[in-house]
Copies of this chain bind each other. A is one copy, B any other.
Amino acid sequence: MSAAIDFYFEFSSPYGYFAAERVEALAERHGRTVDWHPVLLGVIFKSTGMAPLTQVPIKKDYVRRDWERISRLTGIPFKMPSVFPIASQNPARAVLFVARSDEAAAKQLALALYRAYFVDNKNIGEVDVVREVAAAQGLDADAITEGMADPAVKDQLKHEVGAAEARGVFGSPFVFVDGEPFWGFDRFDMVDDWLKRGGF
């Protein structure tokens, strides 16, 4: 059994959302599994002195257009949320909490949260919205609400973000295949090639 692919993503990141829609199929084609890691890119940006896309005016209009083009090209639905970006602690904590008992359910929740945000324009930064999305996935909304508020879950997220940064994660999506780093949804073809050829 080959090692799992590590998939890092930020809930405010459209490129992370597109990747989340494709990463499992990509891994499966090569007999791999995926470990999903929600991270807080804002924290990493602050500590590394980087500016988020949305704070660079000249980039802002471009990336919006790019997201819409990717949606049209790939057929992955995308609608620019009215509140963007958002603080993504709540959805990230919810996913970490669910993953403690059920990894598959945590992945499904992550994807459902992404779709709620980037297709249905729901502000998944809010506890009530996370509850609603979780409930629609058949999960226990009350348990998840407690999980999001649990200091141990909060600490775990802090630790995960620190570990990601230490590993070199500086964007979303960010993927590691057998230690090799790939940044961006636009590197998924390269990841595919890497997996097919066992590196190049």
Which B residues touch A193, using CB under 8 A?
Answer: 73
Q: Does A67 contact B (CB under 8 A)?
A: no
Instruction: Assess whether A72 is interfacial by the CB under 8 Å rule.
Output: yes
Residue of B nearest to A166 (CB): B58
Residues from chain B with a CB closer than 8 A to the CB of A61 are 168
CA distance in complex: A165, B58 (Å): 8
Distance in Å: Cβ of A73 to nearest Cβ of chain B? 6
Which residues 80-132 of A have a CB within 8 angstroms of B?
Answer: none
Q: How far is the CA of A158 from the CA of B189 in the complex (A)?
A: 38
- A50 partner, pick from B51, B69, B73, beta carbons under 8 A: B51
CA distance A66 to B62 in the complex (A): 23
In the complex, the count of this chain's copies comes to 2
Give the distance to chain B from A71, nearest Cβ to Cβ, in Å.
10
Give the bracket for the number of chain A residues in contact with chain B: 20 to 34
A73 touching B190 by the CB < 8 A rule?
A: yes
Q: Are A58 and B168 in contact (CB under 8 A)?
A: yes
Measured CB to CB, the residues of A under 8 A from B are: 48-51, 56-59, 61-62, 65-66, 69, 72-73, 165, 168, 170, 181, 183-184, 186-187, 189-190, 193, 200
Q: Would you list 21 pairs from A and B whose C-beta atoms are within 8 A, ordered by A residue?
A: A48-B57, A48-B58, A49-B51, A49-B56, A50-B51, A50-B56, A58-B168, A58-B170, A61-B168, A62-B168, A62-B170, A62-B181, A66-B183, A66-B187, A69-B190, A69-B200, A73-B190, A73-B193, A73-B200, A184-B186, A186-B186
